[in-house]
Amino acid sequence: MPAAPPPRVSRHVLREGLGVLWVAVRAEPRVFTVAVLASGLYAAMTVATAQVLGWVTEDTVLPAFRSGHTTTGALTGAAAAIIGVAALKALGVAGRRFYAGLMQYRMQARYRRAVTRQYLRLPLAWHHRHPTGQLLSNANADVEAAWAPLAPMPMAVGVVLMLLIAAVSILVTDLTVAIVGFLIFPAVALLNVLYQRRLAPVATRAQQLRAEVSEVAHESFEGGLVVKTLGREQAETERFAEQAEALRDANVAVGRVRGLFDPILEALPNLGVLAVLMVGSLRLRAGAMNAGDLVHVAYLFTLLAFPIRALGWVLAEIPRSVVGWDRVQGVLTATGSLPYGENALGEDKAAALEVRDVRFGYESDDDEGGSPRHVLHDVAFTASPGRTLAVVGPTGSGKSTLTSLLVRLVDPAEGLVLLDGVDVRDVRKGGIAETAALVPQQTFLFDDTVRGNVTLGLDLPDDRVWEALRMAQADGFVAALSDGLDTKVGERGATLSGGQRQRLALARALVRRPRLLVLDDATSSVDPQVEARILHGLREAQAAEDGTGATVVVVAYRKATIALADEVVYIEHGRVLDRGTHAELLERSEGYRNLVNAYERAEAEQEAEQEAEQEAERQAVDGTEAEGTENEEAVA
């Protein structure tokens, strides 16, 4: 895979990060307001704690030491004040944490849904240009990173209020001590600026590498069979290790920056407290302030370390948030979604299909302005309702691309695909899926039951499921499974053979009773006898007197399969070179004749090899049994 581009590091990360947070505030104003009010309550009660401690010290504790006794009323009042402030403070903490978390999880859920909906809207060509691992990272890690600052943000807003209240309270209590203590703020502000400048690039790089590790891991898992059969385990391990080590180094770099600045940020407020205590002690000795005021001011300065750290938590997450937001926006702003019309298609009867002068090309991967690589050129043909049309052509002739156009996975660059005389681009959303079904070359089964893989969530009776299985010639092996329709087939249908997986995929399409059935070499893993029974079953359904059934378009290479079609379209290099019945094309098209005969010879050779292997196995078994008999006679 080509190396990923370096992450974008803006000089205005803080401004961009605040813009991202403002998006969340506008999306969840009520939740944010409640969280900030709760945080404000916590901030106010924290400052009130200092006031109460100063009052208790001056009016209860010191008089008790001087007189040697105190009253029950004084102790009760002091305890009630402390407990009351602590209870309100706890209420503020609980409200802040709950609503801050609620806001964060809502935004994450909203944007995960938005990203996945966009994935469904974007055409197949866009997905071909983006690795699956990257798409998974966009929907998960990047969305999570984008809204990571939301959890500490209400706290940060609340502690700003705490700073303002504390500053006013300190200034009112003693101006000299306040000036000495406030000298620490310029140092803290400067340190935070340096901290952000050092942290932004390394945090950005770490977030980028998370996506790259996800991409490599997903590729390795998807290609597990290839990796193991070709002995590439070590190479894949090294490839993953290289990316994992790069991510480790990036995270270590983030830890180093935080390890350097965090202790200093923690120490500076404490140095301010020491300075306040020194100056305050001198002023207390001089009679310029009393002990309660000194306790009050010193306690407030001990609290300043926490507000500063709360702001630091938000600032530390902002670089990752900006990177995650940019990557998510790259998906949400992607163009190329398929527009829909308002037209509805017919019902019950087999569909009429017409392909009119279709051209299609894949966009260049190098840049968006690159000229498309055309794979279909002026393709035109029709399929009458209830008829079977075979599409035949050599590898790379555009057959699979054509099937994607028929069910509107992609749109043609020029020309029209018509169902019942309606341009597929003018059909209402969901109309194509209700009318047409595609069984692709590569079969995918979910880690679910047979019933779940056939119905895909549709509430269908078992009789209808068994009907589809019988038509796909899958009812026999399904009935033999341990739990029948409720048998789990494993990840990607790992417990089934290739032919069984293909038949379940075909049943999945048939159970929907489509009016247009497109088979893209969908029976290649099925033996010819079973394939013949499947196609005969489809033809019987097409021959129903009520006109129900389906128009079938089948990409095929076996002569027996092609011969069952009512008409054959021969494609080469993306162009229709000829069309007619199988017999007509064999007679007049040399290219078609050579291709079909080559397929037949290859299949015959493969069958001969399989028979030879089976015969060799039988002979080996017979020889082993004969040798065992001779040994028994010799012993006797």
Quickly state the pLDDT bin for 347 (edges 50, 70, 90).
Answer: confident
Instruction: Give, for 589, the enclosing helix (H) or strand (E).
Output: none
Q: Which of 55-59, 99-103, 352-356, 543-547 has the lowest mean pLDDT?
A: 543-547
Tokens describing residue 326: 């940019």
pLDDT value, residue 604: 59
Please report, for residues 108, 140, 185, 268, the alpha-carbon distance to residue 314 in angstroms, rounded to integers and kept in the order given: 17, 20, 18, 19
Q: What percent of the chain is predicted at pLDDT more than 70? A: 76
pLDDT value, residue 365: 47
Q: Strand 388-392 vs strand 373-383: parallel, antiparallel, or unpaired?
A: unpaired
Residue 357 and residue 378 in contact, taking contact as beta carbons nearer than 8 Å: yes
Residue 415 and residue 359 in contact, taking contact as beta carbons nearer than 8 Å: yes
pLDDT above 80 for 585? yes
pLDDT digits (tens, 9 = 90+) for 300-324: 776 665 666 666 667 667 777 777 7
636 or 270: which carries more pLDDT confidence? 270
Instruction: Give, for 330, the enclosing helix (H) or strand (E).
Output: helix 305-332
Cα–chain center distance at 202: 24
Average of per-residue pLDDT across 47-58: 72
Using DSSP's 3-state secondary structure scheme, residue 521 falls into: coil
pLDDT value, residue 10: 45
Quickly state the pLDDT bin for 523 (edges 50, 70, 90).
Answer: low
Gap between the Cα atoms of 550 and 559, Å rounded:
22
pLDDT above 80 for 285? no
Average of per-residue pLDDT across 558-573: 82
pLDDT value, residue 611: 60
pLDDT value, residue 580: 86
pLDDT digits (tens, 9 = 90+) for 16-51: 777 888 888 888 889 888 988 888 888 778 777 767
Q: Strand 516-520 vs strand 575-580: parallel, antiparallel, or unpaired?
A: unpaired
pLDDT above 60 for 396? yes
pLDDT value, residue 100: 86
pLDDT digits (tens, 9 = 90+) for 464-488: 888 888 887 888 888 888 888 788 8
Using DSSP's 3-state secondary structure scheme, residue 99 falls into: helix
Gap between the Cα atoms of 566 and 426, Å rounded:
29
Gap between the Cα atoms of 94 and 492, Å rounded:
45
Length in residues, the chain: 636
Tokens describing residue 530: 């079973």
Please report, for residues 374, 401, 412, the alpha-carbon distance to residue 377 in angstroms, rounded to integers and kept in the order given: 7, 12, 10
pLDDT value, residue 6: 35
Greatest mean pLDDT among 127-136, 171-180, 571-580: 571-580
pLDDT value, residue 609: 61
pLDDT above 70 for 369? no
pLDDT digits (tens, 9 = 90+) for 222-246: 676 667 766 777 877 888 888 888 8
pLDDT value, residue 2: 36
Strand partners, 243: none
pLDDT mean across residues, the chain? 76
Tokens describing residue 174: 């003693």
Task: Name the H helices within 122-230.
Answer: 124-128, 132-137, 143-146, 153-173, 175-182, 184-222, 224-229
Q: What percent of the chain is predicted at pLDDT more than 90? A: 0
pLDDT value, residue 610: 56
Gap between the Cα atoms of 563 and 146, Å rounded:
58
pLDDT digits (tens, 9 = 90+) for 106-160: 998 999 998 888 888 787 777 777 777 677 778 887 888 888 888 888 877 777 7
289 or 469: which carries more pLDDT confidence? 469
Residue 332 and residue 167 in contact, taking contact as beta carbons nearer than 8 Å: no
91 or 550: which carries more pLDDT confidence? 91
Query: What number of other Cβ atoms are within 10 A of residue 235's Cβ?
Result: 11
Q: 15-332 has which CATH code?
A: 1.20.1560.10
Query: What number of other Cβ atoms are within 10 A of residue 376's Cβ?
Result: 25
pLDDT above 80 for 376? yes
pLDDT above 60 for 547? no
pLDDT value, residue 617: 58
pLDDT value, residue 451: 81
Give the start-to-end residue ranges of the domains of the chain.
15-332, 353-361+373-588
pTM: 0.61
| Contacts of 298 by beta carbon, 8 Å cutoff, 6+ apart | 273, 276, 277, 280
Residue type, 272: G
CATH level 3 topology of 353-361+373-588: Rossmann fold (3.40.50)
